[in-house]
Amino acid sequence: MSAQREFIQEQNDLRDDYKIRKRTSPIVNVWRSRSTRGILFLFCFSIVVPVLVYYFLIDNVTTSDELYDTCAVDETYRVPCGKPENTTIDKCNKIHCCFDNTTKRCFHYLPSKYYYFSDSENQDYGSSLVQSPFFEAQLKTVYLSINPTSDKSVQIMLHDNSTTGTITCTNTTEYNCTINSNPLFVEFYRPNSRELLLTTAKGPMIISDHYWEWSFQLTDEYLFGLGQTLIDLSGKSTLTKVIYGNDKDHNTLPNFLAYKNGKYHGLIVRHSGPLEITVFASKLVSLKSLSGKKITLELSVGPTIQEVINQFNDNKAANLIVTPDIFGVHVCREGSSLILKDILEDFKKEQNLDFRYTSDCLHENLFLAAINEKSDSSVTSEMRDLIGDKIIKSSHRFSLSILPQVPYDSDLYTNTADLNIYFKLNQTDYKGQYFKNDVVYPYFNHASVDTFIQKLLEAAKQRFDPHLPTDFVLSRNWPSDQSFVMKEIDKFKYLSKELTEAMSSTLPWNASSDDELQFLEHNNYGYFHVEKIGPALGDGAFIMTASHTFDNFQPIINQNVDISWTNFHNTIVTILSNSLFGHPLTSIPVCGSTSTFTSSHESLCIRWYLMASTAPIFRISSDEPRRDPTSLASLTSKYAASQAKSAIDFRYSLMYYFNTVLGNNEPLMRPMFYDFPDDNNTFALVDQYMVGSDLLVVHPTLPDQTQVTIYLPPGDKWFEFWGGDSYDYNLGKDGWISLTVSETDWIGFVREGSIIPIILNTDENVKQVRLKIALCDNENCEAKGMLITGDEQSFNFTSTQSELAVTNQNGNDSFVLHEIEIFRPHSTCLIKLNADLKLVEDPTVNYHNQSNSSC
């Protein structure tokens, strides 16, 4: 109120002054002169406006030619400094940062007062300040290493003296490299256009024993990645993710894809410890780590999106074993029991599954429960009989989930305790909790791990022979410890809410093995699990893993997923993001996996089944209540069960199309911009995506949604998958069309010029093929397609307006051509062949000579 009274009194004084001013001063007379006002205006314009521009429209680009410390930092570039409670100007000044009186936030200068520098040409750099913003001593010396891995890719590593490296900042035909030594930052450009590929100049460099901070920027235009497709931020908004294997978001990887002026480039952040990543609206990326000896940035310059992905993968994905069985339906069950007898009783009570599926794991905890039992017990014998009678004899594959946890009271632990392979706490093997059972955790990078794995597989053989499988799921290997809750501790001066949550429900940060704290290598745990167990399982083993790493290309399963419309949408985003960054086989449990499922989720579950019909991996695995079609019939309705079965049948009809896409080393389910990289209308699309290059799929992701808006890129016609109605960019407004849909509609479009093979029957010996052929009106146009049946076995199809030609490359003679469905812009017709034709005989079909034709 006092401020208000002062304002009113001030205004009254001004009014009183106005009343008594009856004579005008000479100064005012001069001001009233038009020429004087003009001169003063020009003076103000020339002096004041540049100052305002400097402070409010600053470019924020720091290079070696423009080094200045300023607090006039655009809000989208403001990197927070110190603890969030630094809400006073005195506290902020004390840690050498800027303070915003309006927002009460402390942020770094630009450039930051925290940097490293060198006055020589060596690769070691000294710290500008003694302490970090958290009053922890900074490392006196750090090192920068640059290692070109090809003409189009390079590694930039910031590290301490425990890691060695060299500086090779050379220019190539694809990028130019610049290192600034005072302050230290590195920049990469395209050589001709000088377009920026990477700069580390726009944020602080803070390195202490338990806190590292570093920043980079790839583009100021479009940025993709970090578990998203397009990172679409506005204003002051940010995106923060913690990269630390845990039970919630354990499959996010710090990959980025940048786009500017029609070209793509990408970056991978490699760090094995807890890493918090924040993306600002400016596309500046901030890295914060609690620990580690190094942070590595791997830059790939593209310039096409396909080249970036290949450079990311280093062609490792080509080693992925792809067979049609991968695209079948995989069934499993989850729950809290580790008592084998109880697991088997529940399995026996289950109705026989009355839908098509490929593999069955019986239960996720089966292996842990089995090794808690003696190998010669009656319960173990009953388990083997059930696997043989209910899985193997029904022509399904048996898969086995192997969790990294080992029951503390098991023979396996007794027989391996002397290997000293388990994580320790306070000098004893650490006992965590898995569903209220004491378990211990092997360190899969231990020197004695091979002996441990040999004993583990011996225990498996004793219990599962003669049904020891070749299909395995390495589940919950982030790894899960349901007893540990991370709390604030003095050791970590910086510990955000996000980091605290991520470091819970997994191994304690200070558990150790070989005198190495586990949290320093935590993000490699799943990689070591696969790397060590995989070869021991044999060359023919099919492995899925719950841990997502850069160097593993096995199919990935996500776990602990609640059913909700939000998570359904996030499922699509996760699969698209993983596919984009070189992990094309990702599975999210259909209709979720936790116990939150109720009959009220029926419509959502139907939609989830429809989406899963074209997902890379179709896996039904949940706690009770179960979500397989047989269980849905009693839990929700027979209608829902029928729709779920139809979605499964549809998936099996497309499995060889999926096999063909993956067999050509392309991602199966991918964002629209992968196939339309220069059309920025596709960048933000998630509810519609491509399955291969020829199939556009759309899903409503909101409850009770009866309208979908679809974007059709220019250049091609698109044919509705079921009826063949023709659509194109010009039909709607700027490429957007609207369709009315129901909850059971699978919405898809076939691209003009393509041929999609569909399997019509379930006979394993003879597979009847229908070809969907999308032709244009032009007499000279052709449609082409392919069908890969197995290793180096395939068929190629070419269609004109009048005939179809088939050529095979070591093709399988069990495939026969049964029907041809032709889509044209103004007509659709179906040809049922007079007799099935073996594709291996390279048939040519003249459309006009077929009597069973509507063409």
What's the rounded Cα separation, in Å, for the pair 704 and 697? 19
Give SS3 for 43: helix
Any idea of the CA torsion for 518, 523, 526, 528, to the nearest 10 degrees? -70
Q: Answer with the residue of higher pLDDT: 249 or 571.
A: 571
**Closest among 111, 116, 110 to 132, alpha carbons compared:** 116
As beta bridge partners, residue 844 has: 805
Span 756-765, average pLDDT:
92
Per-residue pLDDT for 3 more than 50? Answer: no
**Mean pLDDT value of segment 822-847:** 93
Boundaries of every domain in the chain? 116-317, 336-540, 754-849
The pLDDT of residue 39: 47
The confidence score (pLDDT) of residue 68 equals 62
Average pLDDT over residues 645-656: 98
Q: What backbone torsions phi and psi does residue 381 show, to the nearest 5 degrees?
A: -65, -40
Quick check: 28 pLDDT over 50? Answer: no
Whether the predicted pLDDT of 693 surpasses 90? yes
**pLDDT at residue 260 is higher than 70:** yes
Q: In the structure, what pLDDT confidence band is assigned to residue 18 with cuts at 50, 70 and 90? A: very low
Residue 320: predicted pLDDT? 67
Residue 86: which pLDDT band, with cuts at 50, 70 and 90?
confident
Residue 117 — pLDDT band, cuts 50, 70, 90?
A: very high
CATH topology of domain 116-317: Immunoglobulin-like (2.60.40)
Average pLDDT of the residues in 90-108: 95
- Report percent pLDDT > 90 for the chain: 78
CATH number, span 336-540: 3.20.20.80
In angstroms, the CA 115 to CA 201 distance is 10
Least confident of 302-306, 530-534, 548-552, 643-647: 548-552
Is residue 13's pLDDT more than 80? Answer: no
What fold characterizes domain 754-849?
Immunoglobulin-like (2.60.40)
340-367 pLDDT tens trace: 999 999 999 998 999 999 999 999 999 9
Angle at CA of residue 392, ends 387 and 398, nearest 5°: 70
Residues forming a β-bridge with 297: 156, 269
The whole-chain average pLDDT of the chain stands at 89
Give the largest CA-CA distance in the chain.
115
pLDDT at residue 274 in the model: 95
318-347 pLDDT per residue, tens: 556 788 999 999 999 999 999 999 999 999
Q: Do domains 336-540 and 754-849 have the same CATH topology?
A: no
